[in-house]
Chain A
Amino acid sequence: MREKDYTRREFMRNLSLTALGSLSLPIFFSACSKQEKEDFLQKHFKEMSEEEKRHVIAKLEQRYLEQYGKKFHISTQEAVPGTLWGYGLELSKCIGCRRCVYACVKENNNSRVSPQLHWIRVLRLKRGNLINLEDSEHYYDPEMVPEKGYVYLPVQCQQCEDPPCVKVCPVHATWKEPDGIVVVDYNWCIGCRYCIAACPYKGRVFNWAEPNIPKEELNPSVHYLGNRPRMKSTVDKCTFCIQRVRSGRYPACVEACPTGTRKFGNLLDPKSEIRYLIENKRVFRLKEDLGTEPKFYYFFES
């Protein structure tokens, strides 16, 4: 190919190509609204000052009011000093009715469909087989539960003491609070799903699209790090109902269980029910060999 000589025409072409390439990005950014710009520049929750937190809360409450027509109350209550939450589950009592699953969905403003986010998953296992979860059935749908010959194992985020999900998050969007709850800053998560790959208990789920929550079922008392309505492409998970436990209330799943399978309490309080449970029952934790130190203690009575 012979090169042509460098004419004025070519100079203009080269200049315009360069200009087009370099100006496309600023033009794109200037097309964003003020709200989007503010969202884009929002800081990480742990780095916000009290003033900034208040501003963000007010902004979010206003937005939820416009979007859902309900007045939300977003709490940023910090961890209560001297608390480390633990959970107990009596496997001999679980009948696999899934009331906990749907109570959690309702309490925590989870997307109902497309995508469907369940923070709790109940597995059905044949008697004689517990630790090998490969033979579990997730989609059992009998007429009545419990079915003879089966054991039911509910699993949710185990709030590990050494959480692999916190280790792998590239942007510190998820961290362990002082009271042991592993939380996510939904406005900081970039949606890379590395934490989902890292979790050994499938405790984390992803908002594959904008959540669908029927307006009348919204729960307006929320926590910033817990059950406030999320947005698409962020990860969420069980937070031990952070909006409830930090004021001393039971998580929704504990209250919903009709057989009293679920127990909850403060591991640092020697008089709590969870400590009694650990000291007097034969408790075990799932996949303990992975070294994650989960706070979810399962036990059998019969």
Chain B
Amino acid sequence: MEKFRQTLKETWHFYSRTLTLVTQGSKIYYAWCLTLLLFIIVGFIFYLKQHEAGLIVTNMNDQVSWGLYIANFTYLVGAAAAAVLLVIPSYVYHFKPIKEIVVLGELFAASSIVMAILFVMVDLGRLDRFWHMLPFIGKMNFPQSLLAWDVLALNGYLFLNLLIPVYLLVKFYYRKGPNWKFILPFILASIPMAVAIHTVTAFLYNGLPARPFWNASILAPRFLASAFCSGPAIIIIIFQIIRKVSSYTIAIEDEALFKISELIAYAMFLNLFLLSAELFKEYYSHTVHIASFKYLFEGLHGHNQLVPWIWTAMAMNVIAFFIFLVPSTRKRLTTLNLGCLLIIVGVWIEKGPGFVIPGFVPDPLGEIYEYIPNLLELMVSFGIWAVGLLIFTLLMKVAIPIETGEFSHVAYVERATRFEEEREAWKISSSGKP
């Protein structure tokens, strides 16, 4: 009982101190958080309109029934899976430069998963019936429905990516060594879990014979390859930003970034190779199912909205691949950052709208509807991205001081005792004056 009360006291103490930490910061910090809050509020207002009137206020319809929300969801699940590219070097190969920053990478994965889950939630027509999806309480269609698998996988991965960093950080805050026997199985479990979440997401598209564009066995490997490009690219950019704006001297070494970028080079090669394999199969066999590919890359019956987008994405991906392949461009920060930005945008186009929309064009009865998101969908999407960025910012605001050691219980206790001593001394000196 006493131990439980002690744990409770410690938890509250830690929590309230982190609240103190996140509510104080530099001017840039306040400006950033307030901008994000603004986007969140605007997005929320638009979402309320969608919730009230129904999804008719979006540009989705019976022909293209999934749009920007699910496109973003697919991309973000991939970005979240990329944390595994930090976990493996740190915990399996004990590569020191990455080991310093793996916790931050896992928190990035957690924010990404939160964004992905939010995108699915805003896409649901009846969010008020979400409890129907819960196992045992609702009527979850497990194991037949891939969406049910996805719910379990995503939440499991979120749980792991919150448990592990929080556990390690809290232990470090209290200057207690982590119980590796407890936490290491979770860490090692997060490796296949990362592959699993993105495989499940790929399978939920893959298992639909009605959509020949998606019904390709190559889908799951393609997803993983593109995920392992885009996620680490985001991580590289974010870590450089952190290194710059954080007032704490966090040890994000260039070496860590270069190692990650090497992995991106391999992943991008795989991505391009798998894409070429798909293109060969479709264009050489030339069956009826080439229609979606034609729509995407050439235009179909005069409809060619996505064509400039996909070719831009292809160009970006190929240029980025060469930037990452050649060591001199990879090891120079300017070109590295350019490559990262190219990959982030290029893979977003290829995996988001360039993947979800052609699956619906032409629809099973041969109709072509060109979907473009409208203002409401864009605002809600920005709002959700802002939520993810805000969560990540707040997590970093706590995690980095802990990692660098400046925010710790020991330091707090020392400061508190010193404060008490000074106060006592002042009392004595002030009472000593008649």
Contact = CB atoms under 8 A, between A and B. Distances in A.
A168 B62 contact: no
B55 A233 contact: yes
A132 B362 CA distance: 11
Nearest to B356: A197
Contact of A198 (B127, B129, B130, B210): B210
B132 A202 contact: no
A10 B20 contact: yes
A196 B63 CA distance: 9
Contacts of A15: 16
A27 interface: no
Chain A at the B interface: SS class? loop
A232 B62 CA distance: 14
B428 interface: no
B397 to A, nearest CB: 10
Contact of B366 (A123, A199, A292): A123
Given A1-B247, A188-B132, A194 B365 contact: no
A114 B55 CA distance: 11
Contacts of B123: 192-193
Pick the most buried of B19, B66, B125: most chain A CB atoms within 10 A of its CB.
B125
Interface stretch (B133-141, B304-312, B387-395): B133-141
A13 B17 CA distance: 11
Nearest to A7: B20
A190 B210 contact: no
A172 B141 contact: yes
A187 to B, nearest CB: 8
A200 B209 contact: yes
Interface string B409-426: 000100110010000000
A189 B17 CA distance: 43
Contacts of B247: 1
Which size bracket describes the interface of A in this complex? 35 or more
A155 to B, nearest CB: 6
Contacts of B17: 6
B327 interface: no
A80 interface: no
A109 interface: no
A191 interface: yes
B209 A3 contact: no
B139 A172 contact: yes
Given A5-B419, A164-B210, A194-B147, A206 B129 contact: no
B128 interface: yes
B125 A167 contact: no
A133 B363 CA distance: 10
Contacts of B365: 121, 123, 133, 136, 138, 155, 201-202
Nearest to B145: A170
A136 B207 CA distance: 26
A188 B139 contact: yes
B61 A194 contact: no
B140 A171 contact: yes
Given A168-B207, A171-B138, A191 B126 contact: yes
A188 B126 CA distance: 9
B345 interface: no
Nearest to B141: A172
B2 interface: no
Contacts of B140: 170-172
A15 B13 CA distance: 11
Given A134-B291, A172-B139, A200-B209, A208 B148 contact: no
Interface of B: 15-17, 19-21, 23-26, 53-56, 60-63, 65-66, 120, 123-130, 132-133, 138-141, 144-148, 151, 204, 207-211, 247, 288, 291, 359-360, 362-367, 407, 412, 415-416, 419
Q: Which 4 A-B pairs give the minimum distances between C-beta atoms?
A: A191-B125, A233-B125, A200-B210, A133-B366
